[in-house]
A and B are shown apart, each in its own frame.
Chain A
């Protein structure tokens, strides 16, 4: 029972570099999400995908892009990393909508941009 799997777990980038965070779920969930978590703050939604083939902006989408590759996979791309993007990134999924029923979270990716 893998649930939601995120890779990598840790990453250090230099300012201006790009990278893609990968997320996959094996629960046949329809919706998937990317959040960031910063110290002393609640989680903030970056992007979400309500169903395969759709993506929508969340609260803090600037500097990020996403791809819902298929029903299982939802990736987050940083095209030109900035120190302000240093954070812990969480992928989550839910059967329908997380705000209706709750999310299942991955274990996170700790990203440092220097």
Chain B
């Protein structure tokens, strides 16, 4: 089953601009995680935000979580060509320590 839905499905911006991606989910969660996948590669864990947190930062990444709206956003500031990738949100359900439920991803293209 697919829990997270990313929006938009694809995003193309100029280098240096900020990129914002959104994720919505349906059930109660323990945490929400964001991953990056470069073309033809494995996924890389970016950031985890717990259900009792509202905002988290890591370098140029800013993640927010609104549990009342069941949504999260990932902001990448001052984008670089190397940020070109697909970004996935995944939710950790309350009844499982092991299984994440994944969205279909946002494809981000940074134009030089």
Please classify how large the interface on chain B is, using the bins under 10, 10 to 19, 20 to 34, 35 or more. Answer: 20 to 34
The answer to whether the Cβ of A41 comes within 8 Å of any Cβ in the partner chain is yes
Q: Is the CB of B45 within 8 A of A102?
A: yes
Q: Is the CB of B45 within 8 A of A104?
A: yes
A-B contact count (CB 8 A): 71
Interface positions of B from 58 to 85, Cβ below 8 Å from A: none
Complex Cα–Cα for A4 and B40 (A): 16
The answer to whether the Cβ of A96 comes within 8 Å of any Cβ in the partner chain is yes
Complex interface bits, B90-108 against A, C-beta within 8 A gives 1, otherwise 0: 1011001111111111000
Q: Is the CB of B104 within 8 A of A97?
A: no
Total interface residues on A, CB under 8 Å, equals 29
Q: Is the CB of A99 within 8 A of B104?
A: no
Known: A102-B33, A102-B45. Contact between A41 and B2, CB under 8 A?
Answer: yes
Instruction: Please give the residue numbers on chain B whose beta carbons come within 8 Å of chain A beta carbons, in ascending order.
Output: 1-2, 4, 30-31, 33, 40-45, 48, 88, 90, 92-93, 96-105
